[in-house]
Amino acid sequence: MKTTQPFSPAHFEFDRELIERLDGAGPRYTSYPTADRFTSNFSESDYLLRLQQRRIGANRRPLSLYVHIPFCNTVCFYCACNKIITKDKSKADIYLDHLEKEIQLVAAQLGCREKVIQLHFGGGTPTFLSDAQLERLMAMLSEHFEFMPEGEYSIEIDPRKVSRETMLKLAKFGFNRISVGVQDFEPAVQKAVNRIQSEEETRAVIEAGREAGIQSVSLDLIYGLPLQTRESMLRTLQKALELNPDRLALYNYAHLPTVFMPQRRIHEADLPSTSTKLDILQDAVKMLTDAGYVFIGMDHFAKPDDELAVALRQGRLQRNFQGYSTHADCDMLAFGVSAISKVGSSYCQNDKTLDGYYASLDAGKLPIVRGITLDNDDLLRRTIIQGLMCRFALSVEAIEEIFSINFAQYFNEEMPQIRAFQHQGLLSFDGDFLMVEPKGRFLIRNIAMLFDRHLRERQTHARYSKTI
């Protein structure tokens, strides 16, 4: 299965035999080092220092903001997010009280009302919040940050809980992108994962969003769910395409019931086989590309005129904790329970428990529980992994100049695996450029992993999802 543009970064080849042979688990590289490498040695004082360094830095770029809303009305059995199941909206008021404290503490370190180019509300279910609560949250953020008119402001939507009026208000609040959770349109699959969501609900939300002026609609689907078949997933994909999304994400379900308790309610006997999952993926890739969507990378597709597709063609694509982005080179301030921030050469994460998060803020402290400061080797490898994941190419000369290294000598330990991947047709390496070949693009996580020193040198208790 090949596209017709052999020199395009979107050109790929779905080599099923190679994919089956290299099947394995690994990080998604929304950061490097990955979050399982964060340690408790990084504390609130370290984060405050990073914020102060940003304050005195020259030519500060606009910020990216992330807000985690952990609440959901019901539990979806497949979910691996940090969430709290409740129908009590008053719990969100208490949460907003503490978000306000956190935002104030962080903003005080910045010294001015900084500009924002990107905002994302994730969860949980951000639209668990009432319209009044969403308005309150946006007012909190607007008090301390200046939202640029050309910015990208997105929110995750659960169509089962959102009215047309809410969609109109979201646009009024400034949101111009929505990510709509679908997962699967088949009633039997929905029942098996406890997420009953009609086609009509999904369509109504999307139509209301477009009526309100939302610029981009993204649909999230999952393959590998219980009772899915090759035929049923084709029906779901057809219905998804009829909704005409600007972007579409097709995630591989990672069944880790020992890690995520709700998944214990999924019957393993109902899960499709590895072979069936590959059938589904192969069918989906053909169907989406035949419909004109561009393969962005990993599990993401977009229309040719979408910003992600344009950024891919122009070599500007980035990755952060929200996935592929055009603004991931910004510092990202993250608010809420379990949220992860990136400032300068550091990452840090908030307390994952609501009690711990509240206790820290009630004591006037930021709820940082772990993080990491990147050393020069981390920065080098992050640059390489970002380049491979987002552009499928690496200028060795540029890397050598920026980091003052000899590439072949520095990565002497990695060279045998580079040569092995080259022999298998996944990549090419001539000493000046490292290029991911078309058949390597669906195995990009495998390629990125060979540059992950932490993965090679240190054990982790993390359970990674399958690379395909």
109-122 pLDDT, tens digit per residue, is 998 899 999 999 99
Residue 134 and residue 280: Cα distance in Å, rounded?
38
Give one word for 213, left, alpha or beta, with left for phi > 0 and alpha for psi -120 to 50: left
210 close to 246: Cβ distance less than 8 angstroms: no
| SS3 (DSSP) at 361 | helix
Residue 244 and residue 292: Cα distance in Å, rounded?
11
> Residue 165 class from Cβ within 10 Å (0-12 exposed, 13-18 middle, 19+ buried)?
exposed
- Could you read off the pLDDT of 61-85 as tens digits, one per residue? 899 999 999 999 999 999 888 889 9
**pLDDT for 460:** 65
Q: 222: pLDDT confidence band, cut at 50, 70 and 90?
A: very high
Q: Is 156 annotated as a binding residue?
A: yes
Q: Is 183 annotated as a binding residue?
A: yes
Lowest-pLDDT choice from 24-38, 85-99, 368-382 = 24-38
Q: 207: pLDDT confidence band, cut at 50, 70 and 90?
A: very high
Query: One-letter amino acid identity for 341?
Result: S
Residue 146 and residue 159: Cα distance in Å, rounded?
29
Answer whether residue 250 shows pLDDT above 70: yes
Answer whether residue 256 shows pLDDT above 90: no
**pLDDT for 9:** 66
Task: Name the nearest CA neighbour of 435 among 383, 388, 381.
Answer: 388
Q: Is 430 annotated as a binding residue?
A: no
Q: Is 66 annotated as a binding residue?
A: yes
Q: Is 220 annotated as a binding residue?
A: yes
Domains annotated on the chain, with CATH: 1-33+375-468 (1.10.10.920), 35-334 (3.80.30.20)
Q: Is 340 annotated as a binding residue?
A: yes
| Matching residue, tokens 């590289």 | 29
Overall average pLDDT of the 340-363 stretch? 96
Return the percentage of the chain with pLDDT > 90, whole number: 76
**pLDDT for 465:** 64
Answer whether residue 6 shows pLDDT above 70: no
Q: Is 284 annotated as a binding residue?
A: no
Q: Is 263 annotated as a binding residue?
A: no
Task: Name the nearest CA neighbour of 288 among 325, 254, 250, 253.
Answer: 250
Q: Is 302 annotated as a binding residue?
A: no
Phi, psi of 454 (to 5 degrees): -65, -40
| Higher-pLDDT residue of 187, 390 | 187
Q: How many CB atoms lie within 10 A of CB 296?
A: 23
Q: Is 72 annotated as a binding residue?
A: yes
| Higher-pLDDT residue of 421, 9 | 421
Answer whether residue 1 shows pLDDT above 50: no
Overall average pLDDT of the 346-361 stretch? 97
Q: Kindly give, in sequence order, each residue whose CB lies less than 8 Å from that of residue 142, ignoring residues fewer than 6 positions away.
A: none
Q: Is 207 annotated as a binding residue?
A: no
- Could you read off the pLDDT of 14-39 as tens digits, one per residue? 888 888 888 877 888 888 999 999 99
Q: Is 135 annotated as a binding residue?
A: no
Answer whether residue 3 shows pLDDT above 60: no
Residue 83 and residue 260: Cα distance in Å, rounded?
11
Lowest-pLDDT choice from 64-68, 86-90, 221-225, 455-459 = 455-459
pTM: 0.92
Q: Which of 224-238, 306-320, 323-337 has the highest mean pLDDT?
A: 224-238
- DSSP per position, 193-223: TT----HHHHHHHHHHHHHHT--EEEEEEEE
Q: Is 80 annotated as a binding residue?
A: yes
**pLDDT for 5:** 41
Q: Is 468 annotated as a binding residue?
A: no
- Could you read off the pLDDT of 393-444 as tens digits, one per residue? 999 999 999 999 999 999 999 999 999 999 999 999 998 999 999 999 889 9
Strand partners, 372: 347
Answer whether residue 11 shows pLDDT above 90: no
